[in-house]
Amino acid sequence: MKKFFCLLSCMLLSLVITGCGKDDKLVCSKEQTLGTTKLNIKVEVSLDDGYATKMVTTNDVTFNDETSAETFKKIYDGKEGYKVKQDGKKVNVTQTEEVAKDKRKTDETKKDYVKKQMEDEGFTCSK
């Protein structure tokens, strides 16, 4: 009986530590160089029961000069859904998109489908 309670305690502890099998994020990234411009893209997909609910895309762009960075920043400045920061030659653009409630829990929002689409676009995904 003592072994049973010990085993049960270990199982409950592992569920608490790992979370009940519910995946909460898929993270994909990609690096590109276009001429002298370097682009690092990171996409975090929030999941609920294996379906995408929100995507946060972060683009870190490094330009050859500050003028190009300022010009790029102006494209996204003030646009709804975008946050833009510039630090010298580097520009960070973050976009947040919620998946519409009527589109949730469809084949196109399944984790495996989203992951495959991202990988087909050249992203490396973890989790």
Burial class (CB in 10 A: 0-12, 13-18, 19+), 120: exposed
* pLDDT tops 50 at residue 16: no
Judge whether 98 and 6 are in contact, CB under 8 Å.
Answer: no
Judge whether 51 and 21 are in contact, CB under 8 Å.
Answer: no
22-126 folds as: YehR-like fold (3.30.1830)
* pLDDT tops 70 at residue 1: no
Where are the domains positioned within the chain? Answer: 22-126
Q: What are the DSSP calls for 42-107, one per residue?
A: EEEEEEETTEEEEEEEEEEEE-SSHHHHHHHHHHHTT-TTEEEEEETTEEEEEEEEEPPGGGTTSG
- Average pLDDT, integer, range 11-39: 70
Residue 28: predicted pLDDT: 97
- Average pLDDT, integer, range 34-39: 94
* pLDDT tops 60 at residue 10: no
Residue 2: predicted pLDDT: 35
Q: What is the mean pLDDT of the chain?
A: 83
Q: Tell me: the pLDDT tens digits for 80-97?
A: 999 999 999 999 999 999
**Cα distance between residue 76 and residue 58, in whole Å:** 13
Give the SS3 label for residue 121.
coil
Residue 17: predicted pLDDT: 33
* pLDDT tops 70 at residue 6: no
Tokens of 90: 């580097």
* pLDDT tops 80 at residue 22: no
* pLDDT tops 80 at residue 7: no
**Cα distance between residue 8 and residue 10, in whole Å:** 5
